[in-house]
A and B are shown apart, each in its own frame.
Chain A
C-alpha cells in the first residue's frame, strides 16, 4: 500500500468536504453493518483507500422500472458519484452512461472481454415472455444480453426484488413470463455466484455494503461472501432478522396499542400498524435500522404498514397489502381471504350439524340413539349367503 494512494483518496475526500474523521466514522458504520468488530475499521479504510484501480462493472437493466437506479442515486457516504467515479468503473449503465447506442454497447462489450474480472449488477426482472422479446435492447432480446454477460462475471449482484425473483412483474398471472436472475441462471446451467438484494426498490445502503464487502474486503476472492449469504443468496447481516424484530413501534405492539384507522390520532402517537396489514412480522430486512433515503425515514415511520417488498414473490404473498392475510387464488372464484374461506367452511359445517340434528330428531335417535344391531351387517350378509364360520 503506497503512501501516495492514501493522499489521493484523502485529497478527494477533502475536496468534497469530508474530513478524515468523517471518513473513519463512515467506515465504522459500515463495519457495524457488515457485522465486523470495530477493529476492522482501519482495514476498511485501507481497502477504500486502495484508490488506484477501479473495479470494472456493468449495470444491466432488465424488465426494470429504473427505480433501483434511482434508489442508488440516493446513496450517501459514499454517494453515487463516489461509487461510479472512485470505487467502481461502471462502463455501461443505461440510465447514467454518457455513451449511447452502439457505442454504449461497445463499452459493455469491452468489459465482458475481461473474463472473471468484472462485477455484473442486474436490475429488473429477467423477461422470458415472447421468446425474450418482451425486453429488447440494441436489436436483441434481454435474455441474449444476460446470456452473454453472466458467464464471465466474477459475481452478479441482483439488485431489487425484480432481479431476485421477478418481483411484482412475476406476480400472477405473470403476463411477460418474468423470473429472477438466479432462477434463470439455474435453468441455463450458468454457475456464476449471485448475491441477492431484494426490496422494491433496493436500498442503496445495502448495495454499498456489498460493494465494500465484495470488492474492498476481497470477500469474493476469499469466498467469505458465500458464507455470509443465507439460503436465498441474501446477505445474512441485512436479511437475517424481521422488520418486526427491530421495529421502533414494537413496544406498542406488545402493549396492544394499534392504529385502527389511517390518518388518526393513533398514528400521530406512533402506534403499531399490525392491524392495518403490516407485513413486518414476516419480512426479513433491516429497514428499521438502516432506514431509507439517507436515513430520512422509512415506511412505518411515515405511517404506512410494511407491504413486505423484500419477501420472495412479494405481491402474491403480500396482497391485499392492507389486510393481515394474503388472498388465496381459488380456482373459478378468484382471490379470496383465508378467513372468508374458513367462515364459509365453518358455516357449511354448522348448517350440516343442524340439519343432521334435525334428522336425528326426526328419526327419534336423540334420546339414547337407535337400537343396536344384533350382529354386524357384514356377518349377516355372509350368513345369508350360507357361508361363514
Chain B
C-alpha cells in the first residue's frame, strides 16, 4: 500500500488553526441555524441567534485571515514533500495536476486502478476547496439578506428581489448550509478513507512518514507503512 508522507509543511500551524476555527464555527452555525429554522426545544432562541451571529463573524474573519495568509505563508507544493512555496500557488493551476481531471474521476469510480499523480491538492479536491470560498460568501450574503438590521440595504434587497422575496432567500440560505454539510461529509470521507494521517496532521499537527515525491510526481523515497 502506498500512502504519501504527511509533513507539517503541508499544513503550517496557522492553517491548522484556521481549519479548527472553520470547523467549530461551521458546527456552531449549522446547529444554531437548524435551531433558528425550527426550534426543536424551548428556551434557546436568543442564545441560538447570538451564536449564529457571533460565529458568522468568526467564520468571515477566519476566511479573510486564511486568504490573506495564503499570500504570506509558505506551504508544501506537493504530497510527501517538505519543499514549500507561497501557499496561494496551491490555489492556482499547477503543473502536476495538468491533464489529471479525467484520471481522478476514473480513479474515484473505480475505472482506474492506480492512484493519479497530483499536486498538494488533486484537481477535484482543489475545485471543492476553492468552492468553499464563494459558498461561504453566498451563505453570508443570503444570511445578511434575511437579517433584520441590514436586510433593507439596497445591496441585499437587489438580491432578495431577484430571487423572488425573503422566503426564497431564506430557503437558499438553508440550502447553502446543506451544501456545507454535504461538503464536510464528502471532505471528511475522502480525506480519511485511505488512512487517518491527514486528520492527524490537520487536527493534531502530527507528522507521519510515507512515500516522498519529486517535482515530477515520481516516488523518490520514503517508506510504506
A contacting B, Cβ–Cβ less than 8 Å: yes
Given known contacts A345-B178, A367-B1, is B39 in contact with A274 (CB within 8 Å)?
yes
Flag if B165 contacts A368 (CB, 8 Å).
no
Asked whether any CB of chain B lies closer than 8 Å to the CB of A35, the reply is no
Q: Complex formed: what's the CA distance from A257 to B43 in Å?
A: 6
Closest to A378 in B: B99
Q: Complex formed: what's the CA distance from A338 to B195 in Å?
A: 36
Asked whether any CB of chain B lies closer than 8 Å to the CB of A346, the reply is yes
> Taking the nearest CB of chain B, how far is it from the CB of A389, in angstroms?
13
Asked whether any CB of chain A lies closer than 8 Å to the CB of B18, the reply is no
With beta carbons under 8 angstroms apart, the residue of B110, B152, B166 that contacts A363 is B110
Cβ contacts under 8 Å, A364 to chain B: 1
Cβ contacts under 8 Å, B219 to chain A: 372
Flag if A375 contacts B117 (CB, 8 Å).
yes
Given known contacts A254-B46, A368-B195, A369-B2, is B116 in contact with A376 (CB within 8 Å)?
yes
Flag if A242 contacts B148 (CB, 8 Å).
yes
How many A-B residue pairs lie within 8 Å, measured between CB atoms? 151
Interface 1/0 per residue, A255-269 and B, CB below 8 Å: 111100000000000
Chain B residues numbered 152-194 whose CB sits less than 8 Å from any CB in chain A: 152, 157, 161, 164-168, 170-171, 174-175, 178, 181-182, 185-186, 189, 193-194
Flag if A369 contacts B3 (CB, 8 Å).
yes
Flag if B103 contacts A376 (CB, 8 Å).
yes
Flag if B42 contacts A256 (CB, 8 Å).
yes
Q: Complex formed: what's the CA distance from A368 to B171 in Å?
A: 40
Q: Complex formed: what's the CA distance from A20 to B23 in Å?
A: 67
Chain A residues numbered 334-372 whose CB sits less than 8 Å from any CB in chain B: 338-339, 342, 345-346, 349-350, 353, 356-357, 359-360, 363-372
Asked whether any CB of chain B lies closer than 8 Å to the CB of A244, the reply is yes
Closest to B182 in A: A349
Cβ contacts under 8 Å, A282 to chain B: 146, 165-167, 170
Q: Complex formed: what's the CA distance from A253 to B49 in Å?
A: 11
Asked whether any CB of chain B lies closer than 8 Å to the CB of A231, the reply is yes
Q: Complex formed: what's the CA distance from A51 to B153 in Å?
A: 42
Q: Complex formed: what's the CA distance from A280 to B171 in Å?
A: 16
Closest to B80 in A: A372
- Name 25 interchain pairs, CB-CB below 8 A, sorted by A: A240-B152, A257-B42, A258-B42, A279-B167, A281-B146, A324-B37, A324-B38, A325-B174, A338-B171, A349-B186, A353-B186, A356-B108, A357-B193, A360-B193, A360-B194, A363-B110, A363-B113, A368-B224, A369-B1, A373-B115, A374-B218, A375-B117, A376-B99, A376-B103, A376-B116
Show the binding face of A for B, using Cβ within 8 Å. Answer: 231, 240, 242, 244-245, 253-258, 274-275, 279, 281-282, 308, 311-313, 317-318, 324-326, 328, 338-339, 342, 345-346, 349-350, 353, 356-357, 359-360, 363-379
